[in-house]
Amino acid sequence: MTEWTILGAGALGCVIAGQLHQTGERVGFMLSERHRGHFHPNLDLITLSGRHQLIQSQPRFPEHARKVECLLVFTKAYHVLEALQELQHLPKSTPVILFNNGMGLSEQVKALLPDNPLLVGVCSHGAMKEQDWLVRHTGKGDTWLGPLNEAGKAWQHLIKPLAKALNHCEWSDDIALHQRRKLAVNAVINPLTAQYNISNGQLAEPRFKEAVEQLSDEVYQVISNLDASSAESREDFRRRLAQVIELTAANHSSMQQDVTHGRKSEIDYITGYILQHAEGIPVPVNQQLYDEIKNREMHKTKLAAQN
């Protein structure tokens, strides 16, 4: 393979692109129509050490899809299907790796791309977009790769270059387990930080103790009920949640950023997923946060339409 193609030039997509480039891999960005005709600058990556590195990447557009060798999808969850539908000439042999937040898209992507090798990537690297084409790598993390369909199982060899670039990448035949564990953490951190307009680290303050405990208990019960055989203990989940809050203390969650800037959030694929799979488990805090954030989104949309 001579080039990785990144679909979704957000914070994490840009950081992964930068990490791949630093290990000698070629990277291209699949861009939307709004970028056509505009100057495509080099990506400015601020590394963990604080150094600026200019990353050269090739701009790609949907008509170039037939040349894509491996597609890494980092778009917002609600844009994934629309973005993939635009790539009408994507070869059926091209592996597609979904790195989007939340859960609930798997069956729809399988139906859309029934012949492509489909995989899921779960990545906990910290990333923050400071402005267009300027991103900061804010923390190391683990990366897991696993198959979404039978054809995806033949692409386990992709973990080698990804591990070289990201310091860690392992294969998991049960990638849904890692998706659920990441979702559980996001379902606590994202809606609370969005609702209260705070950084991740502020959730460790005493004033949020009760909210964090109530929400984490609800989320834990729902996630554990999905697959009791592989569920972690409540104590292990709380420790993992506290560790993520500590390690990403200075970060602002993607949902907090979206709500603050009046953009649509991924609440439907995070908290919405918890609500859809509660199956009789009481989740009043999840429901309240979902309703409040959806109401704020609707209010922003109405204001934008009036202007």
Q: Which of 261, 30, 67, 259 has the alpha carbon at shortest distance from 270?
A: 259
Residues 6+ apart with CB under 8 A from 178: 122, 144, 146, 172
Whole-angstrom distance, CA of residue 104 vs CA of residue 120: 12
Rounded to whole angstroms, the Cα distance separating 136 from 18 reads 10
Alpha-carbon span 168 to 140, nearest angstrom: 9
164 is catalytic: no
In DSSP notation, 137-198 reads EEE---EEEEESSGGGGGGGGGHHHHHHHHS--EE-S-HHHHHHHHHHHHHHHHHHHHHHT-
Of 92, 160, 182, 294, catalytic: 182
Specify the amino acid at residue 19: Q
Can you point out the beta strands (E) in the chain?
Answer: 4-7, 27-30, 43-46, 52-55, 58-60, 71-73, 96-98, 118-123, 126-131, 134-139, 143-147, 170-171
**What's the one-letter identity of residue 187?**
A
Could you give the residue numbers annotated as active site? 182
